């Protein structure tokens, strides 16, 4: 359970959650953290997990789902995150 709550702490600490405690996929897409394909995958994960009330279970479920759906595009996704982070540093 501690690891599941750690996942929740990470997502909250990075500002990835909305005011309802759910992943802000739209915001992550707008900020350039999620590319179009990753965004679509994340919407699938949200559909599968958004009814979970326990924040630790929810966050862990989202991370597992995202990892599974994004495993095929892992290198592309990593490059997108690196580029988005670099762009934010330049501002």
Q: Which tens digits make up the pLDDT trace of 15-28?
A: 999 999 999 999 99
**This prediction's pTM:** 0.71
Total structural domains within the chain: 1
Residue ranges in the chain whose pLDDT is less than 70: 70, 72-82, 84-85, 91
Cα(39)–Cα(48) distance, rounded to whole angstroms? 14
Give exposure, 31-63, as e/b (b: 16+ Cβ within 10 Å).
eebbbeebeebbeebbeebeebeebbbbbbbbb
Q: 84 lies in which domain range?
A: 2-90
Token output for 6: 């750690």
d(CA 16, CA 25): 8
């Amino acid at each position: 359970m501690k690891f599941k709550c750690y996942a929740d702490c990470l997502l909250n600490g990075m500002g990835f959650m909305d005011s309802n405690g759910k992943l802000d996929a739209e915001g992550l897409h707008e900020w350039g953290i999620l590319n179009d394909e990753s965004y679509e995958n994340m919407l699938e994960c949200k559909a599968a997990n958004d009814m979970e009330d326990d924040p630790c279970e929810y966050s862990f479920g989202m991370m597992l789902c995202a990892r599974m759906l994004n495993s095929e595009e892992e290198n592309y996704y990593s490059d997108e995150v690196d580029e988005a982070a670099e762009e934010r540093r330049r501002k």
